[in-house]
């Protein structure tokens, strides 16, 4: 029987008996058992039930039990707290570098400790827009955009993403710059082709004018 979602196994004794979903922690041997009557529930229902029990998704196919969820959140908070200990000049430079990372002006959100609800919302959002296997965001997304959408500090979001989904393998700002460069190269080639075509047409017109002038001259001689 096919699993209902990555990281979840399904068992059913008979076609008429309730199904049991089993979620295993990626770190330890703890398991969560979720019984359901009827058909296999959708991903959203399974995720909600697991969250209510203190479990959290780790990437697309793994889970953290309540203990290791707390450890992951604590690690993310410690990483974010490191930024709080920067000297004023260092903090300004860090914020300046972050502000230059995206093309659009950024909304600055002061560093603070994320609430459990904010952490869960961030995890759910990252599951939708971040591919942990490839280490990259979906087109148009970045740490900055996710942080702005959720109204949380970018440093907290980056630390949480690093801890629970892994580091960025592909920089979204660099990808956008490459796409922009490719677009400019295409536009340049199109413009050059149009200029060459216009130059050829002008030469043809000039040749026609010279020919007409020569004929007029010979006719008047």
Q: Is the dihedral of CA 118, 79, 162, 155 positive or negative?
A: positive
Give the other-Cβ count within 10 Å of 74's Cβ: 11
For residues 79-92, average pLDDT: 50
Please say if the pLDDT value at position 25 is more than 70.
yes
Please say if the pLDDT value at position 221 is more than 90.
no
Name which of 73-77, 95-99, 114-118, 188-192 the model is least confident about. 95-99
Token pair recorded at residue 220: 């008047």
pLDDT per residue as tens digits for the range 190-201: 888 889 888 888
Token pair 């087109």 in the structure block, residue: 139
Range list of H helices, 151-171? 154-165
Do strands 8-11 and 31-36 pair parallel, antiparallel, or not at all (unpaired)? unpaired
Contact 28, 68 (CB under 8 A): yes
Token pair 């008429």 in the structure block, residue: 16
Residue 126: predicted pLDDT: 93
Q: How confident is the model at residue 147 (pLDDT cuts 50, 70, 90)?
A: very high
């Amino acid at each position: 029987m096919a699993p209902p979602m990555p990281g979840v196994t399904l068992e059913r004794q008979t076609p008429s008996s309730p199904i049991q979903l089993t979620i295993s922690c990626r770190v330890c041997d703890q398991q969560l058992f979720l019984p359901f009557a009827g058909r296999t529930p959708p991903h959203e229902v399974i995720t909600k039930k697991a969250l209510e029990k203190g479990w959290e998704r780790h990437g697309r196919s793994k889970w953290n039990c309540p203990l290791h969820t707390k450890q992951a959140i604590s690690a993310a908070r410690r990483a974010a707290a490191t930024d709080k200990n920067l000297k004023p000049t260092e903090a300004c430079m860090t914020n300046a570098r972050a502000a230059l990372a995206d093309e659009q002006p950024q909304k600055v959100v002061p560093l603070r400790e994320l609430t459990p609800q904010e952490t869960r919302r961030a995890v759910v959002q990252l599951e939708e827009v971040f591919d942990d296997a490839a280490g990259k965001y979906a087109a148009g997304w970045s740490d900055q955009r996710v942080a702005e959408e959720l109204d949380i500090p970018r440093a907290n979001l980056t630390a949480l993403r690093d801890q629970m989904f892994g580091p960025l393998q592909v920089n979204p700002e660099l990808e956008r710059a490459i796409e922009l460069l490719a677009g400019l190269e295409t536009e340049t080639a199109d413009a050059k082709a149009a200029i060459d075509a216009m130059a050829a047409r002008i030469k043809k017109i000039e040749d026609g004018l010279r020919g007409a002038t020569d004929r007029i001259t010979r006719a008047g001689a």
